A and B are shown apart, each in its own frame.
Chain A
Amino acid sequence: MPRLQSSAMPPAGTRRRTSARRLLVLLGPALAIILLLFGGGLLLGLLQALGQVPSQTLSTIGGQHFLHVLQDADFTKSLTLTLYIAITSTVIAACISVVLALGLMRWAANSRAINFLLQIPLTVPHLVIALSVILLLTPSGLFSRLFSYLSIISTPADFPLLVNDGWAIGILIVYVWKEVPFITFMLLSVLKNMGVELLEAGSTLNASRGQRFFYIILPIIAPSLGAACLIVFAFTFGAFEVPYLLGRTYPLALPVWAYKNYSDIDLLARPEGIAIGLIIAAIVILAIISSQLLLHFGRKRGLSI
């Protein structure tokens, strides 16, 4: 169905092949910047994580900082917490987004206003949402005061712990709040181009609602949904400010741990901070590669994903 895929992703085999040289000229400038700034930064980071300390001319290069981090008893705790936050928030956000996108589909096709409205939350920084959650949901926040004023709870302190809590509920709320508009926006752009013809064809063939969803809509939105989820996962796994503000003092999410080490008054803790940062990057890259591989094999086996 090339027409359907045209807007989401270019079909795997492009008919008009671009020569390698032309491709290089076209992508060259962007690639150079990415390689220099991104690759260079990673390389310098790696050097420092391996023990190259500025201002100390003699230093041993080796993996001791990585080893130290990986052997730390807190590493598993931090990794589990970070994975829990990233996966849970991605899954919840994806489910809500699919429902929301389907609900908005008809509207969004005709109305620019919906698209505009959806773009507004995208511009609000995570930090602002995190602070709003503090203002709204802490035991001294707006909701707890409102509930105690309405005598639903006896004192504001009876309000359930939703921020700095053991289940990271505050963090999940921020991420879901922030990522739902993003994923919905991605899905809507695909659904808009799908049109209603296929669904009408489906219903004339007596396909039930569920069948129409699983056999028509899901295969069409799957590439965008997957890509959006990956972006969300990668972001929530590596983001610092939300778990810093809404997390508990211990255990720490990996990015917060990295920051704490990097900003430690003891300069020798810095390489460990960078090592944790690189481990975060490695996990995210690994997640992206493995999901791409999964998709690739899925396609080979004839799934219309």
Chain B
Amino acid sequence: MKNTCRFFTRYLFVLLTFLAFPAFCPAEVQTRVHSWEEAVKAARGQTVDWYMWGGSPAVNQYVNGYLATELKKEYGITLRQIPVKDIAEVVSKLVVEKQAGKDSDGSVDLMWINGENFRTCKQQELLYGPFADKLPNQHLVDWANPSVKNDFGTPVEGLESPWGSAQMVMIHDSARTLEPPRSIEALLAWIKTNPGRFTYPAPPDFTGSAFVRHIFYHAAGSVDTWQGEYSQATFTKAAEATYTILRDLKKSLWRQGETYPESPVRMNALFADGEIDFSFSYHQGEASRNILDGLFPTTVRTFVFDEGTIGNTHFVAIPYNAKDTAAAMVVANFLLSPAAQLHKASPQVWGDFPAIAAARLPSPWQENFATLPRGPATLDDAELQAHQLPEPPSKILVELEKGWIEHVLKNR
């Protein structure tokens, strides 16, 4: 309500501005990007207002504790975390600022972003840069990895800098299921021979929707098709095949597919209670954490499909009207430093999957990452990275979610 009010006053302001200056055009957006040396010099004494989703105590602790201390010590930068419920709020704030012609001294210096929100920002030209290629730590990132190069199908092109990543893993109990099916094909066959022992959260739940995308890749028989230009007809054909597979699967699902868990949390509970034999998570470390928390038995393990599982990278980006662009660049670079990434990857801190490729690190650091304590159920980075599939464009994601509701849930 408050936001909407603010929106209306701004809207009014824009309207008045246009009325007052009929020849008003938006000022030319400042495009020159600092070189790295300039950035480091200018950054000292600046304050970076970092807007980010603030729902995880572990992340908040990492940002306000480790990162803030190190940045102050090393670069004289004050890091201020501004927690938000959804970064989309910040994106719409930027849209309004752009409409109002507020092209400098914006309040947002850095934001934690990916997927749909990045696409909106890129389309509306709300981003500073390309700046990512100016950062020295960028050489640690494997830009050939399709899930880094494209953010949910949108080419990154240096407009955001990677921070970490997540990958879907299947979860099973090795005491119950000795030999889990290691491909989508085998999983579908397993479900049919073991009716009632599998389910997935109903899309548009994030995790359930990711499962449907795996079936989509399987039905389409290709992953790369969707990263470039594809025809609507090809998509429709693949989507139809996806719905057919899932409709056929329904009677073999938990409760004959008459109802689905509403969240991965509920699916995990069903799994832990022995009602179903598999769970899955879009966070490779979640199963281990659940073992530590006593929610899962210690025999629980994770696996990835031979053809790979979908992963995505989360990034930081700088708005076009940010006040402290130099310091924001330094922060983005520091986030990629081996020390910061290692600290972040530690299960006691956050357990986030690193955005840098271990192979590109000097050997002592490789050692550090390799010996990082990971939970009993978490796969090692090399195996995960070798089995990583990119996300399709968000347009496909949305279409599949809608199509699933229409054709699978409602059976039309």
Give A residues with C-beta under 8 Å from B. 37, 40-41, 44, 54-55, 57, 74, 139-140, 157, 161, 164, 166, 244-245, 248-250, 260, 264-266
Contact = CB atoms under 8 A, between A and B. Distances in A.
A269 B405 CA distance: 14
Interface residue tally on B, bucketed by range:
20 to 34
A57 to B, nearest CB: 7
Contact of A265 (B7, B259, B398, B405): B398
B1 A44 contact: yes
Identify the 6 closest CB pairs spanning chains A and B, nearest first.
A140-B273, A248-B259, A164-B259, A249-B202, A249-B260, A55-B95
A250 B262 contact: no
Contact of A44 (B4, B95, B259): B4
B63 interface: no
B73 interface: no
17 contacts: A37-B1, A41-B1, A44-B1, A54-B7, A55-B95, A57-B11, A74-B410, A140-B269, A164-B259, A249-B259, A249-B260, A249-B262, A250-B409, A250-B410, A265-B116, A265-B397, A266-B398
Contacts of B259: 164, 248-250
Contacts of A57: 11, 14, 99
Given A249-B262, A260-B204, 8 more contacts: A54-B92, A55-B96, A57-B14, A140-B274, A244-B262, A249-B202, A265-B116, A266-B398
Interface centre among B258, B260, B274 (most CB of A within 10 A): B258
Interface centre among A140, A166, A249 (most CB of B within 10 A): A249
Contacts of A265: 116, 204, 394, 397-398, 401
Given A54-B92, A249-B260, A264 B1 contact: no
Contacts, number: 50
B248 interface: no
B270 interface: yes
B275 interface: yes
B176 interface: no
Interface centre among B202, B255, B262, B409 (most CB of A within 10 A): B262
Nearest to A248: B259
A249 B205 CA distance: 11
Nearest to A161: B255
Contacts of A44: 1, 4
B1 A40 contact: yes
A65 B175 CA distance: 52
Contact of A54 (B4, B275, B394): B4
Interface in B40-59: none
A74 B409 CA distance: 12
Interface string B400-412: 0110010001100
B120 to A, nearest CB: 9
B96 to A, nearest CB: 7
A113 B152 CA distance: 60
A298 to B, nearest CB: 39
Given A55-B95, A265-B394, A248 B258 contact: yes
